[in-house]
């Protein structure tokens, strides 16, 4: 089967996406609309230019810039409704959405009011067959106090669909030990733990995320490819890597980890992780910023040489790694397997 046949089938399969930032999903036209609401005139071309950052610091700058136009609950509702419509159009039936809660707090926004608007948008998506759960994220560079405050908000809003606490931002800004109290607070409230690590940082950052923070899923974790013992340990412990190939190209993470000649999608370590038996959840990270979507990422997997049955296995793994109650996971898996069998993939 060729790439377009494979993506044609993947388009029909019910899918899960687990590593997806709400604020990274703002289409250029929507950024223009949001900016105008707040008295700022920008153009779609300017947004697209800023989204094409040359390196990781440039990416973080673009993220900071576009989030500066998110000020009111209705701004968050707009981008959520648009994201959920795009996910539903790709047959995504379950998504965990990361919210940059520490950015909202840093701007003195009312997290409770904006999250109420987001929970309503999630309710609308649910009625259309797309289930949403939330991950509250703190930016590492904002420090331990911001992490604690973000974890407190996550705990408070757990009854409204927040299932995990995570850390993103500048991976090199702060070591994991500083974040431990925030993760402990979140865990005590029944939340699960995820963390960006080994995206631009070294393999040791992945070890610390697992050992110090108790992360059960790692955002990116591509540095593991540099450390065979770590890959084997992650495989043995069932730690999932949330792999976002286009993101790794566009943020410069591939070049940083593996050298300038590796800044190509066909050099991404996704297939080597898969072949080694690691759990992988294929995702988009910031789809509008990187001009991608989940189907395009499955196309990358096909170009890397995964066969159609392997792609089906890859897609199934996202349901295995989802932070869902077990009966719900099993019903998604049953639905997925039934469809995959009908396509002759299982």
Of 174-203, binders to ligand ADE (CB under 6 A) are 196, 199
Choose among Zn ion, ligand ADE, none what residue 251 binds, the Cβ cut-off being 5 to 8 Å by kind: ligand ADE
Choose among ligand ADE, Zn ion, none what residue 169 binds, the Cβ cut-off being 5 to 8 Å by kind: ligand ADE
Contact call for residues 281 and 321 (beta carbons, < 8 A): yes
Q: Is 145 a catalytic residue?
A: no
> Which regions of 52-150 does DSSP assign to beta strands (E)?
92-99, 131-139
DSSP 307-329: -HHHHHHHHHHHHHHS---HHHH
Nearest distance from residue 104's CB to Zn ion, in Å?
Answer: 17
Nearest distance from residue 289's CB to ligand ADE, in Å?
Answer: 8
Q: Which residues neighbour 112 within 8 Å (Cβ) at sequence distance 6 or greater?
A: 156, 157
CB-nearer residue toward Zn ion: 73 or 219:
219
Please report whether residue 247 would count as binding ligand ADE according to CB under 6 A.
yes
Choose among Zn ion, ligand ADE, none what residue 102 binds, the Cβ cut-off being 5 to 8 Å by kind: none
Please report whether residue 63 would count as binding ligand ADE according to CB under 6 A.
yes
Contact call for residues 285 and 222 (beta carbons, < 8 A): no
Q: Which entry of 171, 199, 242, 297 is annotated as an active-site residue?
A: 199
Q: Which residues neighbour 264 within 8 Å (Cβ) at sequence distance 6 or greater?
A: 249, 254
CB-nearer residue toward Zn ion: 169 or 203:
169
Nearest distance from residue 195's CB to ligand ADE, in Å?
Answer: 10
Report how far residue 23's alpha carbon sits from residue 71's, in angstroms, rounded to the nearest whole number.
Answer: 12
Please report whether residue 21 would count as binding ligand ADE according to CB under 6 A.
yes
Nearest distance from residue 51's CB to ligand ADE, in Å?
Answer: 12
**Closest residue by Cα to residue 98 from 148, 71, 126, 134:** 134
CB-nearer residue toward ligand ADE: 285 or 316:
285
Please report whether residue 165 would count as binding ligand ADE according to CB under 6 A.
no
Closest residue to Zn ion: CB criterion? 285
Geometric angle at alpha carbon 215, from 181 and 182, rounded to 5°: 15
Choose among Zn ion, ligand ADE, none what residue 336 binds, the Cβ cut-off being 5 to 8 Å by kind: none
Please report whether residue 168 would count as binding ligand ADE according to CB under 6 A.
yes
Choose among ligand ADE, Zn ion, none what residue 247 binds, the Cβ cut-off being 5 to 8 Å by kind: ligand ADE
DSSP 203-251: HHHHHHHHHTT--SEEEE-GGGGG-HHHHHHHHHHTPEEEE-HHHHHHT
* Residues binding ligand ADE: number (CB under 6 A): 11
Hey, how many other C-beta atoms are within 10 angstroms of the C-beta on 343? 14
Residues in touch with ligand ADE (CB under 6 A): 21, 24, 63, 168-169, 196, 199, 247, 251, 285-286
């Amino acid at each position: 089967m060729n790439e377009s046949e494979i993506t044609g089938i993947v388009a029909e399969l019910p899918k899960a996406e687990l590593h997806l930032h709400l604020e990274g999903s703002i289409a250029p036209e929507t950024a223009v609309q949001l900016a105008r609401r707040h008295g700022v005139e920008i153009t779609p071309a300017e947004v697209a230019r800023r989204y094409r950052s040359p390196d990781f610091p440039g990416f973080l700058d673009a993220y900071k810039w576009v989030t500066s136009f998110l000020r009111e609950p209705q701004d968050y509702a707009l981008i959520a409704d648009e994201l959920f419509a795009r996910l539903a159009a790709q047959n995504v039936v379950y998504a965990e959405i990361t919210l940059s809660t520490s950015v909202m707090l840093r701007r003195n926004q009312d997290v409770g009011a904006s999250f109420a608007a987001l929970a309503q948008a999630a309710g609308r998506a649910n009625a259309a067959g797309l289930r949403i759960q939330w991950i509250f994220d703190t930016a590492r560079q904002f420090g331990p106090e911001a992490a604690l405050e973000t974890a407190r908000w996550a705990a408070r809003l757990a009854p409204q669909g927040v299932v995990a606490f995570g850390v993103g931002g500048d991976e090199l800004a702060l070591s994991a030990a500083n974040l431990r109290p925030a993760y402990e607070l979140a865990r005590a409230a029944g939340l699960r733990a995820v963390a960006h690590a080994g995206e631009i940082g070294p393999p040791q950052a992945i070890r610390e995320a697992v050992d110090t923070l108790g992360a059960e899923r790692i955002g990116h974790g591509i540095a593991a490819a540099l450390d065979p013992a770590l890959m084997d340990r992650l495989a043995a412990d069932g730690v999932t890597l949330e792999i976002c190939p286009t993101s790794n190209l566009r943020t410069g993470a591939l070049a940083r980890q593996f050298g300038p000649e590796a800044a190509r999608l066909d050099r991404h370590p996704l297939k080597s992780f898969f072949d080694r038996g690691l759990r992988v959840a294929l995702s988009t990270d910031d789809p509008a910023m990187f001009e991608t979507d989940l189907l395009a990422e499955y196309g990358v997997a096909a170009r890397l040489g995964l066969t159609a049955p392997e792609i089906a296995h890859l897609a199934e793994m996202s349901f295995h790694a989802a932070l869902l109650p077990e009966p719900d996971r099993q019903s998604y898996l049953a639905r997925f397997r039934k469809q995959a069998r009908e396509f002759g993939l299982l």
